[in-house]
Structure 1
Amino acid sequence: MFTTTLSPSEKPFSSVNWSFNVSTTIIIFVINAENIIGPEYEGRITFFPSTASLELRSLTLDDTGEYGVNAVHDGTLLNGRTTLVIYGEQFNISNVLVTSSSTDLVEFSGSVSLSCSASGPSLSFLWLNGSSEVTASDRVQLTDGDSSLTIVNVTHFDQRPFRCRVSNPVSTVTSDPVNLSINGPENINLILSPSQGYFAVGSDISLTCSVGSRPPAQFKWFLNGDQLLDTGSELRLMNVQMSNSGNYSCQASNNKTLRSQTSEPSAITVPPYSLSGQHGDADACFYNQSH
């Protein structure tokens, strides 16, 4: 429907001429209430004389092009132009591909560039991180008509799969995911089990060190700043004695980034008597009063 901006008029136009592709093809020519219709438009158009608007039906790819109208009303020549694009199967999008400058990155210091390519006309691009739309920010740059995405100072939140969604008026295609590996270590946490700080002689205690790291981190354990022989993410203290008292901490290292992170210390206290009172009620009472 080609709708003009003219207000409906009771007085007829002196003449109206609709043409296709810069006046080379006449669609309809109206003069003195007589209509002359181009042969390829017979049965495909409806003309609205009050506004000189035109409806075109049964569209084909050959109808893509520029349309123009010239109208004379009360001795004044009025004209307008517009372009119509018809999309067909050859406008379908294909070969959507995302490439990345790197997939192994270091948190807070690494940068990555992603590029989306596709076959098809009139393409628009949208980036997704997981299910969320990616928008420009201080860390995120969208260039080349949004087909290129650059992220600086990557964080572990950027590890969700990235996809590129390509659209045109005919179709929408989403790329396969690209996963970024954000190496740590980061967010280290030392968990004491049981979580109490004071333990009876003979207790068993477990300390677990959790951390985000790709590849998996390597661990060291420290007591009052001195390195222990133990390795691994868990330190088990069996049948503890007073000598086990002190501040424990773990250190996680990533052999790829050559970075490490140390936890906050966790205090363990083993008094020189039993909290259960097995060395006498007087010792237990003294402990309760002094603590």
Structure 2
Amino acid sequence: MEKKSEGTLAIVWMVLIQGFLASGAVEVKPSINPAVVGDSVTLSLSPSMNVKSGSWAVGESLILTWLGDQQAVFPGHSGRAAVNVLTGALALTSVRVVDSGVYVLQSSDPDLRATASIAVFEPISNVTLRANQTKLVEFNSAAVFTCSVSSGSSLSVLWMNASSELKERDRVQLTDGNATLTILNVTRHDQGPFSCRVFNPVSNGTSDGVNLTISYGPDSMALTVNGQNTTSFLVGSNLTLLCSARCHPPAQLRWAFRGQLVNATGPLLERFSVDEEQSGPYSCLAFNSHTNMNSNITAHIMIASEFVGLVTSASTYLLLCLTLVCPHRDFVKV
């Protein structure tokens, strides 16, 4: 009677174990995940046990089956897959990107089903950045960059302008899975260097930087005389007019006096021992042959003698004497 009870308990125990195994208590653990192309990966059961028969599949494709110490490998994995007929562990060699997927172990002895996912990636090599053109005109050109690799799978791309990350916004477009960067209506601040960083879970690489040459201006012109803001000078003075403009390439500079070009080019115009006849508007004219734009700035210069300065002072003094008690009436009479 006791033996019969013991046998019944053993059967119940085995059923409970099989239900426990089938319920997901058994895990499949890859030796490497993610894996690199060419790696060897082993999928082992945890906890370890004696699996006398079963099959391995990836997705809907059978890899191999075994019964006892006999195993049969299907053509798609011939020479690259083998099972440990004692533990049911699957060994894969020289894995490929297409080997990524969900691996399923099924066994009837014991009754169990277990799964594990493997991701296989190709390492990244030779990240290259190319631009459609590198010489552009501000507000009138678009820069298009293409990032490519010699090898690599499941790629993610990050774009940089110097040390700043570029993200999609009004003038910045990312297409082709972020492999192409387009900057519309480039400005003088878009000179770079631009680079792309490519990465996947097993590797990464960064391209060399690419700089843009952007023509702009002329604008923000400035004109000084003798390094000062004043424009009034005495007869006999030497004048040095200095003109500047924000421009790339540097602007071609010409000079004009009273609207007529003078025989002078470049940022400096010099006049020595000037007289009253040289009073008037002096203009600096800037031109950029790359942008086909021009700009100008004018300074109205007054050249006067000391006598004129005295008359002006006397006139001012007389005006004061009309309203105040003048201490020097003889001077005013003059």
8 Å Cα contact 2:218-2:295 kept in structure 1: no
Contact kept? 1:188, 1:262, Cα under 8 Å: no
- 1:237–1:145 Cα change, 3 Å: farther
SS state at 1:243 partner:
helix
Question: Percent of pairs identical after alignment?
Answer: 36
CA contact (8 A) 1:128 1:163 kept: yes
Residue 14 (structure 1) aligned to one of 13, 20, 45: 20
- Counterparts of 1:1-291 in structure 2, within 5 Å, are 14-15=20-21, 16=24, 17-18=26-27, 27-28=44-45, 35-36=49-50, 39=84, 62=95, 65-67=101-103, 83-85=117-119, 91=123, 93-119=124-150, 120-192=152-224, 193-257=227-291, 259-270=292-303, 272-274=304-306, 279=307, 282-283=310-311, 285-286=313-314
Aligned Cα root-mean-square deviation (Å): 3.9
Max Rg structure: 2
Distance 1:281 1:126, change over 3 A: closer
Relative distance call for 1:86 and 1:209 in structure 2 (3 A) is same
Paired letter, 2:49:
N
Query: How many residues align structurally?
Result: 246
Q: How far apart are residue 282 of structure 1 and its match?
A: 3.2
Question: 1:177-207 CA distances to partner (integer Å, 9 max, x unpaired)?
Answer: 2111111223341230222222222333333
Q: Evaluate the alpha carbon distance shift between residue 107 and residue 281 of structure 1 in structure 2; reply closer, same or farther with a 3 A threshold.
A: closer
Per-residue displacement from partner, 1:243-286 (whole Å, max 9, x unpaired)? 332333322222233x132133233222x223xxxx49834624
Secondary structure at 1:253 match in 2: strand
C-alpha displacement at 1:142, in angstroms? 0.9
Alpha carbons of structure 1 residues 273 and 114: separation in structure 2 relative to 1, 3 Å: same
CA distance in 2, matches of 1:40, 1:190: 87
Structure 2: where are the runs of 5+ without partners?
A: 1-15, 31-41, 52-82, 107-111, 320-334
TM-score (structure 2 length as normaliser): 0.60
Secondary structure of the residue aligned to 2:297 is coil
State the shift of 1:123 in Å.
Answer: 1.8
Alpha-carbon distance between aligned partners in 2 of 1:172 and 1:146, rounded to the nearest angstrom? 15
More helix by share: 2
User: Normalising to structure 1: TM-score of the pair?
Assistant: 0.68
